Structure 1
Amino acid sequence: MQGVASFLAVAWVLGLGPAAWAAPSQCPSPCHCHGDLQHVICDSVGLRKVPKVSEATRLLNLQRNSLGSLPTGSFSEMKGLISLHLQHCQIREIAGQAFKGLKKLVYLYLSDNEISAIKPGAFEDLTELTYLYLDSNRISDLPRGVFAPMINLFILQLNDNRIRELKPGTFAGAKDLRWLHMSGNEMSSMLPGSLDDVENLAILHLDRNRLAVYPSTAMSKLRVVEELTLSRNPMKTIPDNAFQSFGRYVEKLHLDNMGLEKFSEGAFTGVTALKSLHIENNKLKALPRSLEFTTIQNLTLSGNPWSCNCQLSPLRKWMDSSRHRPDADEDEEGQKGSAPLNRRVSGSLSR
């Protein structure tokens, strides 16, 4: 009952009031229906194919059923759907035009399946789709233009798949995409032009991939990134002008646990709004001159073999200023430990 209640709550948030058209005569067996059959809940009821529901249905929950695949036209009679939940359904393939007719769909949840193939045209008609969740599947390749119908897509979740490469045209059409999550894939390459169609990204998560070289060219068209996560990619260096194209907007950078050995001197050129920088557990000995500390509020830098010389003097001045002074204890060797505070810094620099 708790799951049913939560879905009803989502429905009311969406403003799904009584239907303006006649309701169907009965609820599909063995599902539970609510709100004049607008909300159809079929969670964990042993279904092996998509049931027929009314055109009046706004929310359809098919979680935890063994559907296997989504054939062409699986939802063609459900023209009123706004929210469709297909998590944990053992889906292996999405056929072309699988969602044909769903021109009002806003939320599509396909996480935690076994999807390895998305056929061209699979997302045809999803012009109103705003939130797409494809986490925890087996997707290794994204066909060119697969997201093209989604002109209103805002959040795309592709975490924990097997994507190896981003190619030009992958995100063609999805010009309003703002949050792109691709953590935990197998990406070793982002080809030039692969992000040109989504230059308005605000959040980009690429952590836990296999990127050995910072993808400067691929990211050069991004303009307003506020948060970039590259943690746990095997990069040794960050080049000059790495963040310059979106430097006026970027506030959070996650560059920890990468094996980083060096920032080029101009790596942070143009970065003027940075508030949070995470560079812990790397192999860094120095910080570049282009890194400005005036806006930083949260800095984590422990687990690096720092060389405490004049190159680190801007950091020391920032740490020792009355506004930023960390209330840290010193160990027996005179080293400062982690020190959370209003202006948080953690690290190990000699006083």
Structure 2
Amino acid sequence: MSSSMTCLCLLIILLATTSSVTALGCPTGCMCNDDTYVVQCERSKLDVIPITLNPAIQRLVLRSNKIKTVDASFQFYRDLQYVDLSNNHLVNIPTKSFFHQEKLQELHLNKNKLSSINNRTFQGLKSLTVLNLRENFLEDLNRGLFSILPKLEELNLGQNRISKIDALAFDGLLSLRVLYLDDNLLSSVPTSSFSVLGSLAELHVGLNAFTSLPDDAFSGLGKLSVLDISSAGLSNISSNAFRGLTGLRNLNLADNRLQQIPTLQLSHLSRLEELTIGQNEFTTLEKDSFKGLTNLRKIDITGANNLEHIEKGAFSDNLNLETIVLVSNKRLESLEDGALVGLPNLKHLVLRENSFKTLSESIMSWNELRALELTDNPINCDCQLLWLLNSINSKNITNVQCSTPFATPR
């Protein structure tokens, strides 16, 4: 028997004994489109990567199956641009598994059981722009780990067990713009690892255990626009922790242990437009709390359980504020007269789920306000709030509920 006939017989036997494939082509439970070159096998009970698909496929979705390893199957599909292997049982990825995927742009390996990768794991992925390794069991990031991915723009390493990052772990990622390191076991900001990420625009490092930010914690990230340090256990921020972040637009410091607004530290961020700082332990917003943030457009203070009082002039340096969100601050019942005066661009004021019983008309200038939300406050709708009823009627401001003594104004 010739070798070609032998191969054909073996293939027939393989197809006959593989329950997941009904015929040469599309496996059972999959959707295969030869016009768009898309194959989707979601929750199809596959335990191996199919080898019988159209070799010209460009998009392969194998999400939520039982695949345990990446084998040589990928060598048959050299036109792939998108691969989703998330929520499988992957334990390891053999070297050169993706060696022939030179066109692959997105690779999703999140929600697996990967505990280690090395600098040869992704060999061949010259065009890769997105790599998602979220929710695995990675512990260390070694030197040059991603150096063979020159075009990578987004790297997601969140929800792993990473406690150590080599200073050159991200070496070679000259195009990286988005990095997720949140929900790991980092005890300090990996500042030394950031020096090679000069193009980074977005960094997520929350849900770690930093406790403090030292001076120049984000040195080398001069192009950073978005920084998320929420739920990191921060109780102390050094005076120059944010030094060098001259282009930062969005900062999230929510759910930490800050006992006061870090006014001096924030003052370095003159271009900041959005600040989220709720779920901390400060009790008062003092005058000039956000001094230096002259470009601030939105501030969100949600769930600050100890916040009781906002002084006049708390936002005096923030003349460009358009939105103030003060929500679910259960002890907040006092806005000092004039607390929001001098904010000519304020359009949205959200005061839901606080402890306000009344509001003084003199807390702010109402001319530009478009939306006021006061729901779920114990508002006492007496004669002192007639001005608010008039504002509702004239400006169509809604969502004001009265607890006493009469029904909600309409």
**TM-score bracket for the superposition, by shorter chain length:** 0.7 to 0.9
Gaps of 5+ in 2: 1-29, 32-37, 42-57, 59-69, 367-384
CA deviation map 1:90-112 (0-9, x unaligned): 11111222222322111111122
Counterpart of 2:336 in structure 1 is 287
Residues 241 and 66 of structure 1: CA distance in aligned 2, closer, same or farther (over 3 Å)? same
1-structure distance, mates of 2:166, 2:198? 19
2-structure distance, mates of 1:50, 1:83? 20
Residue 239 of structure 1 and its aligned partner are, at CA, apart by 3.2
CA deviation map 1:271-300 (0-9, x unaligned): 122222122323342336352354232321
Query: What amino acid maps onto 2:303 in structure 1?
Result: N
Rg (Cα) greater in structure: 2
CA deviation map 1:122-165 (0-9, x unaligned): 11111110111223222221233322211221121223222222
CA deviation map 1:218-262 (0-9, x unaligned): 111101222111111011122332223223x22221123211133
RMSD: 3.4
Counterpart of 1:166 in structure 2 is 213
Residue 121 of structure 1 and its aligned partner are, at CA, apart by 1.7
For normalisation by structure 1, the TM-score amounts to 0.78
Percent of aligned pairs sharing the same letter:
24
Q: 1:326 aligns with which of 374, 389, 398?
A: 398
Counterpart of 2:72 in structure 1 is 29
Residues 74 and 301 of structure 1: CA distance in aligned 2, closer, same or farther (over 3 Å)? same
Q: Quick check: 1:147–1:171 contact (8 Å CA) kept in 2?
A: yes
Query: What are the equivalent positions in structure 2 for 1:55-204 lying under 5 Å apart?
Result: 56=102, 57-71=104-118, 74-75=121-122, 78-204=125-251
Secondary structure of 2:292's counterpart equals helix
1-structure distance, mates of 2:39, 2:283? 49
Counterpart of 1:278 in structure 2 is 325
Deviates more, 1:278-287 or 1:109-118: 278-287
Q: 2:266 aligns with which of 212, 219, 234?
A: 219
Q: Quick check: 2:339–2:363 contact (8 Å CA) kept in 1?
A: no
Q: Quick check: 1:146–1:170 contact (8 Å CA) kept in 2?
A: no
Q: Quick check: 1:153–1:177 contact (8 Å CA) kept in 2?
A: yes
Counterpart of 2:90 in structure 1 is 46
Counterpart of 1:237 in structure 2 is 284
Query: What amino acid maps onto 1:333 in structure 2?
Result: P
Count of residue correspondences: 320
Residue 312 of structure 1 and its aligned partner are, at CA, apart by 4.3
2-structure distance, mates of 1:221, 1:331? 43
Q: Quick check: 2:238–2:265 contact (8 Å CA) kept in 1?
A: yes
Counterpart of 1:14 in structure 2 is none
2-structure distance, mates of 1:122, 1:49? 19
Residues 33 and 110 of structure 1: CA distance in aligned 2, closer, same or farther (over 3 Å)? farther
